[in-house]
Amino acid sequence: MSACIFCKIIKGEIPSFKLIETKFSYSFLDIQPTAEAHCLVIPKHHGAKLHNIPDEYLADILPVVKKLTKVLELDVNNTPEGEGYNVLQNNGRIAHQEVDHVHFHLIPKKDSKTGLGVEWPAQETNFEKLGQLHKQLQSRLAEYDEKL
Ligand code: 5GP
Ligand code: ZN
């Protein structure tokens, strides 16, 4: 996609602070970081949302994210209470996506002020409702698999 800023970054038409590049993925520093070393990892395939991206590109991305966690030493202080990180991938404006080329954020979480803040409107557990939904989804999954 010629107008897409992330496609331009992959092609080197827009500069970026590049980190890891593979056959399928490209990673670089976010220019408006929410925490120090906030990175983005993107597929070298233009697609707005996760479901638009071929599997071979998606399969390459998480190992790149994992390598970055080690390079950023986010694996060092990894006790439950220690420093952490979030991996975030937004799809659609309502879900906070601003750039319409799939991207995975790797965001160090070192304190409560920087990095990702999460709103999590958890509902009370309702086993009856969950059971009904589960049945519906199982039959949809069976239909989906039959179509493949
Ligand atoms: P989204 O809200 O779509 O999940 O995140 C888009 C991210 O891309 C934001 O964190 C924003 O700072 C980053 N971003 C937008 N334009 C550029 C750019 O030109 N270069 C880089 N490195 N990051 C960008
Ligand atoms: Zn693109």
* Placement of tokens 């996609």 in the chain: 1
Which of ligand 1's atoms lies nearest the C-alpha of 38?
10
Give the chain's domain count.
1
**Confidence check: pLDDT of 80 > 70:** no
Residue 86 in domain: yes
32: containing domain = 5-120
Residue 105 in domain: yes
For the Cβ of 85 lying below 6 angstroms from any atom of ligand 1, the answer is no
Q: Are 54 and 24 in contact (CB under 8 A)?
A: no
CATH number, domain containing residue 59: 3.30.428.10
pLDDT in tens, 85-133: 999 999 999 999 999 999 999 999 998 899 999 999 999 999 999 999 9
Share above pLDDT 70 across residues of the chain, in percent, rounded to a whole number:
97
Measured in angstroms, how far is the CA atom of residue 2 from the centroid of ligand 2? 8
For residues 31-60, give the mean pLDDT: 98
Residue 131 in domain: no
- CA 79 distance to own-chain centroid: 23
Q: What is the pTM of this model?
A: 0.95
Residue 81 in domain: yes
Q: How far is CA 29 from CA 16, 32, 136, 138, 141, in A?
A: 7, 9, 42, 40, 38
